[in-house]
Structure 1
Amino acid sequence: MTNRLFDASVAPAAVPEADARGPWAYLWWLVRIRPWPLVLSAVLGTVWMVPLALVPLVIGRAIDEAGRGAGQGGLYLWSLTALGLGVLQAVAGAGLIQAAVSAEAHALSYTHRVLVRQVVRLGATLRGKARSGDVAASAAADVESIGNAFEVVGRTIGAVFAAVLVAVALTATSPVLGLAVLIGVPAAVLGIGPLLRPLQERDEAQREHMGVATSQAGDIVAGLRILRGIGGEAGFAERFRRTSQEVRRAGESAGRMEAWLQAAGVLLPGLVTVGIVWLGARLALQGSITAGELVAFYGASAFLTLPVSTATEAAETLSLAKVAAGRVCTLLRLTPAVTPPVHPQPLPPGPPALTDPYTGVTAEAGRLTVVTAPTDRTGELADRLTFPPVAGDGTPAVLLGGVPLDRVDPAELRSRVLRSGPADALFSGTLREELTGRTDRSPEELDRALHAADAADVVEALPEGLDTRVDEGGRTFSGGQRQRLVLARALLAAPDVLVLEDPTSSVDAHTEARVVERVAALRAGRTTVVFSDSPLWHGVADREIRLGADRVPGSTDRSAGVPS
């Protein structure tokens, strides 16, 4: 059942409005609303990385203590210190994993929730504002990229702090070597910078191609039966193959740049390590530093490859997260075609009447009205009767119980008025969950709705009845079965006003006859509008309305027996 309105009752109320001004603003918003997992991750990342940085220095000191021949006490002391650092690193590492995963889960969860809330707000208008592939890619790949960025932050902060600590310690031991570290390590990190912009551009190109491919794949799957019927299956398959090759080429281009980035992350710090070891060896030969200090310098310089590689990973991850956050912000900045009124008017109790001053369609309260209109206009007319007009379209709003639709609170409108048409889909889950939606429907009400839609035989043929899981889109059902189940879902909702668009177009005449009689009986006393040119529907109608292409209606009121 389509929807273009925002229902505040289903919004994640605990999540504030996201800052969608830009990718960095959005990522900073994620940090602000729940900073503690990220702070804890940074603290534990530092506690985990610092012992790893100090171990070479401790080992070097132990070697010097042993070389002086001053006894075993100093050697034991420094050995125990190295052991203690190892234990501390192990404990901090276990906590870091949990904190990093918590920060990642926070970013994933909140991004998913704001995306779902935005999709609910946009409703059916989303189709005209964004490709389905873009939405699917944001809900999968983009959300994952943002989560990865939050996972790496703790380790990166710890790596930076440990690198600074090592540089200070080395400078205190040998100013020459310390200066080499202070210059070499930042230079290695900065040397990676020129590769980030090309990587980001290629990631954006790949993401764009992925969105197109996902949209095409969804269209093909949804229309596979039609494509087979018109012989277009091979043509669309070839079109998708070409698109998938574009995705592959874009992915290979991004992968090559990522490989260069990874190679630079190994080469540049490796050169720094080689230079520091060479310089340290010369200082050791000159007697400027001891053998233990040389070992400490070598171990420290080897350790410094870890902060550089971590910084490389962080730069790459943040680059991908920036692209992903930009895509998310693009979706979040979309606005619904209709905005809720500032001061909504309540609807009168009971089944209200529908009056459209633009087309002249009037559905009286508690009666069944059948409207015949040009096929290409039924969707537009059904939209008019159930949704407020888009601002600036120049047409007056439909009156529901005398209240203009654009003055009605969206939540109340959704609970009182329901439109069901051929575009409605069946979602994944058990058939019982799919049909009931809400939990306050009794088994008797469900049976009556299935009986009225003549769908009881569909349920009986399923291996587990109502507990059978429905495939995405209800692909395992035929067109007629799917239409009857969708109709049963609409009837079970029991709205005060039900607008049906061609509800029996995919069933045979005998089934349609049963559905028509049963729906008319079940909906007695409630306002029902059916768009159909079937004589069977006209046979049970309380009121018939015929609309021409020029939108000038002619109607016959059966109860009055005179033209209305």
Structure 2
Amino acid sequence: MSNRLFDASVAPASVPEAEASGPWAYLWWLARIRPRPLLLAALLGVLWMVPLALIPLVLGRAIDEAGAATGQAGLYLWSLAALGLGLLQAVAGAGLIQAAVGAEAHALSVTHRVLVRQVVRLGATLRGKARSGDVAASASADVDSIGNAFEVVGRTIGAVVAAVLVAVALTLTSPVLGLAVLIGVPAAVLGIGPLLRPLQERDEAQREQMGIATSQAGDIVAGLRILRGIGGEARFAERFRRTSQQVRRAGESAGRMEAWLQAAGVFLPGLVTVGIVWLGARLALNGTITAGELVAFYGASAFLTLPVSTATEAAETLSLAKVAAGRVCTLLRLTPETVRPEDPAPLPAGALALADADTGVQAAAGRLTVITAPADRVGDLADRLSRPGAHPGPCAVRIGGVPLDRADPDELSARLLRSGPADILFSGTVREELTGASARPPGALDRALSAADATDVVEALPGGLDAWLDEGGRALSGGQRQRLVLARALLAAPDLLILEDPTASVDAHTEARIVERVAALRAGRTTVVLTDSPLWRAAADHVVRLDAEPAPGATDRSAGVPS
């Protein structure tokens, strides 16, 4: 079943661009691109709910036939009709589950894919535009909320159709009771409305607190070793406890409002049922309706609590889905800093030279250049040399003689690679993590592992290259992770490779081997290493020392001192 559910969406590339102008527009876009599961769920919801509505009316008619002097034929006929309705409801219910799950799976799958596509588009830009906790919450809680909304659509449409059918049938039997149903049921549904806005506001507040807590948790886990080393673990744990309590209080506030909503969904239709039964009993005593009709009215009024409770569930689910879709749209509306130039300039073939007129950095094509800079400038400098969007003014960085912001982004991403401490290992086998989906020349993987001194890391894992890595490589030490990340960068073999402190987490002997082997492997390709390691400086073809000033973007060129 799962293959059929997901086949219609196929691959991420086949998913059209999402409508992100607003939450309702996004939900309507999801329904529009694949309407079949929703339409099937709606049809089956009607076939499932209508028999429930008709059974009390059929049973009431059977009771009247049993009390009539015309024999038992009518009783048997209406009893068989009730049996047929029960069988129809059972079959439709089984199909409704399948269709509802299909609609939910469609919403989950497509939303996941558009989020992943957007994250890939934003790349490094995402870090400065959204909290990691917001992205994680959208990929989990928000996606689930949207899927739940699609799951409830079929039952809701069936409930509405069944409620209208019952109201019409009761009106034809007794206009007074029919009018009571037509007034009472919509009034019960509308009575729930004032609770939806406060629930939505409290859900939004809880969702905001969850994003903050998730971001803090990720930061603490990522820096746990450092926190322990400086004695800050307890302080940050206390900070996270305070944040988690804020999440709890926001959840309790939303839960109280949800409880009121659920209570109203039981109390208001219950009042309608009591009123209809009381009025029906009065009419039965007056002889206006028969005993069977009274039973039918009671059963129908009791049934009407189901459409009202379903409408309550749908209102609550759609309220949560609106909040979730709004968060998803916020992420989808983010724009990457790198914008494709109108007339992109091609990069020259072969190794690429790098030059920054503002900082004085010069890296000759096909050579190993080491840049020594203050620690607080390394990240910004790497951004400046590799990202067109990192330049607030005119771009002074040239790659192969082409201004960085004039190069085609696709060609730039294929030929320039920046690797640093922010790089992570994803879950999967070691082979998949290092090679990705690209074919590599024979022996290239072994050479990259050897240059990064990571061969022993792979050999120590059960299964070697086929060993499974958890997300982030949590089972590895910091040095092992850094060496695998370096091997991945070397295996990509870009024409210009920018490395940030690639050996910061290894010992001196390991670093010496890595420096020697990387220099040999990258011979003929441009490599820029930002580090203050004397081993790298000793192996470099060219060394650039940058002082603390000027800041990136300044025009004072005395900061770059080649040696």
- Tell me which residue corresponds to 1:266: 266
CA distance in 2, matches of 1:37, 1:341: 41
Question: Is this contact kept in 1: 2:338–2:409, CA < 8 A?
Answer: no
CA distance in 2, matches of 1:257, 1:237: 30
- Tell me which residue corresponds to 1:555: 562
Question: Is this contact kept in 1: 2:27–2:325, CA < 8 A?
Answer: yes
Segment of structure 1 superposing worse, 289-298 or 338-347: 338-347
- Tell me which residue corresponds to 1:349: 349
- Tell me which residue corresponds to 1:276: 276
Which whole-Å deviations, capped at 9, do the CAs of 1:314-362 have from their partners, x for residues lacking one? 0111111111111111111212122122332222221121222222222
Segment of structure 1 superposing worse, 92-101 or 396-405: 396-405
Partner SS for 2:358: coil
What is the identity, as a one-letter code, of the residue corresponding to 2:120?
Answer: V
What is the identity, as a one-letter code, of the residue corresponding to 2:228?
Answer: R
Cα offset, 1:13, TM superposition: 2.3
Cα offset, 1:69, TM superposition: 2.0
Cα offset, 1:384, TM superposition: 2.0
CA distance in 2, matches of 1:390, 1:500: 17
Question: Is this contact kept in 1: 2:371–2:546, CA < 8 A?
Answer: yes
- Tell me which residue corresponds to 1:155: 155
- Tell me which residue corresponds to 1:8: none
- Tell me which residue corresponds to 2:89: 89
CA distance in 2, matches of 1:402, 1:515: 30
* TM-score, structure 2 normalization: 0.94
Partner SS for 2:340: coil
Cα offset, 1:143, TM superposition: 0.7
CA distance in 2, matches of 1:370, 1:247: 47
Cα offset, 1:443, TM superposition: 5.9
Cα offset, 1:396, TM superposition: 2.2
CA distance in 1, matches of 2:177, 2:71: 30
- Tell me which residue corresponds to 2:384: 384
Per the alignment, do residues 66 and 523 of structure 1 end up closer, same or farther by CA in structure 2, a change over 3 Å counting? same
Contiguous gaps of at least 5 residues in structure 1: 1-10, 557-564
Which whole-Å deviations, capped at 9, do the CAs of 1:174-198 have from their partners, x for residues lacking one? 0000001001101111111111111
Count of matched residue positions in the alignment of Structure 1 and Structure 2: 545
After TM superposition, where is structure 1 displaced by more than 4 Å over at least 4 residues in a row?
A: none
Which whole-Å deviations, capped at 9, do the CAs of 1:145-164 have from their partners, x for residues lacking one? 11101110111011001000
* TM-score, structure 1 normalization: 0.94
- Tell me which residue corresponds to 2:534: 535
- Tell me which residue corresponds to 1:237: 237
Question: Is this contact kept in 1: 2:384–2:390, CA < 8 A?
Answer: no
Does residue 1:328 correspond to 2:335, yes or no? no
What is the identity, as a one-letter code, of the residue corresponding to 2:61?
Answer: R
- Tell me which residue corresponds to 2:506: 507
Which whole-Å deviations, capped at 9, do the CAs of 1:455-503 have from their partners, x for residues lacking one? 1111122222222222222222222222111111111111111111111
Cα offset, 1:199, TM superposition: 1.0
Cα offset, 1:21, TM superposition: 1.6
Question: Is this contact kept in 1: 2:395–2:404, CA < 8 A?
Answer: no
Alpha-carbon RMSD across the aligned residues, in angstroms, is: 1.5
Counting aligned pairs with the same residue, the percent is 81
CA distance in 1, matches of 2:529, 2:438: 27
- Tell me which residue corresponds to 2:225: 225
Does residue 1:291 correspond to 2:291, yes or no? yes
Question: Is this contact kept in 2: 1:389–1:397, CA < 8 A?
Answer: no
Partner SS for 2:562: strand
CA distance in 1, matches of 2:38, 2:396: 49
Which whole-Å deviations, capped at 9, do the CAs of 1:84-112 have from their partners, x for residues lacking one? 11111111111111111111111111111
CA distance in 2, matches of 1:101, 1:389: 42
Does residue 1:139 correspond to 2:139, yes or no? yes
CA distance in 2, matches of 1:292, 1:389: 77
Does residue 1:463 correspond to 2:462, yes or no? yes
Cα offset, 1:439, TM superposition: 4.0
Does residue 1:476 correspond to 2:479, yes or no? no
- Tell me which residue corresponds to 1:526: 525
CA distance in 1, matches of 2:466, 2:438: 15
Question: Is this contact kept in 1: 2:397–2:404, CA < 8 A?
Answer: yes
Does residue 1:28 correspond to 2:35, yes or no? no
Which whole-Å deviations, capped at 9, do the CAs of 1:192-211 have from their partners, x for residues lacking one? 11111111111111111111
Segment of structure 1 superposing worse, 528-537 or 510-519: 528-537
What is the identity, as a one-letter code, of the residue corresponding to 1:460?
Answer: E
CA distance in 1, matches of 2:244, 2:538: 52
CA distance in 1, matches of 2:509, 2:331: 46
Question: Is this contact kept in 1: 2:537–2:543, CA < 8 A?
Answer: yes
CA distance in 2, matches of 1:87, 1:60: 19
Segment of structure 1 superposing worse, 182-191 or 72-81: 72-81
Which whole-Å deviations, capped at 9, do the CAs of 1:393-446 have from their partners, x for residues lacking one? 114242222222222222211111101112211122222211112341256211
Does residue 1:405 correspond to 2:412, yes or no? no
Partner SS for 2:14: coil
What is the identity, as a one-letter code, of the residue corresponding to 1:287?
Answer: G
CA distance in 2, matches of 1:342, 1:283: 79
Which whole-Å deviations, capped at 9, do the CAs of 1:112-135 have from their partners, x for residues lacking one? 111111111211221211111111
CA distance in 2, matches of 1:205, 1:517: 54
Cα offset, 1:375, TM superposition: 2.1
CA distance in 2, matches of 1:233, 1:28: 46
- Tell me which residue corresponds to 1:302: 302
Segment of structure 1 superposing worse, 396-405 or 451-460: 396-405
What is the identity, as a one-letter code, of the residue corresponding to 1:26?
Answer: Y
What is the identity, as a one-letter code, of the residue corresponding to 2:524?
Answer: G
Cα offset, 1:535, TM superposition: 2.1
Question: Is this contact kept in 1: 2:337–2:388, CA < 8 A?
Answer: no
What is the identity, as a one-letter code, of the residue corresponding to 1:280?
Answer: G
Question: Is this contact kept in 2: 1:185–1:269, CA < 8 A?
Answer: yes
Question: Is this contact kept in 2: 1:428–1:472, CA < 8 A?
Answer: yes
Which whole-Å deviations, capped at 9, do the CAs of 1:351-391 have from their partners, x for residues lacking one? 12122222222212111112222222222222222221446
Question: Is this contact kept in 2: 1:167–1:182, CA < 8 A?
Answer: yes
Question: Is this contact kept in 2: 1:358–1:396, CA < 8 A?
Answer: no
CA distance in 1, matches of 2:134, 2:54: 47
CA distance in 2, matches of 1:371, 1:115: 37
Contiguous gaps of at least 5 residues in structure 2: 1-10, 551-557
Spell out the pairing of 1:247-266 with structure 2 (5 A cutoff).
247-266=247-266
- Tell me which residue corresponds to 1:516: 515
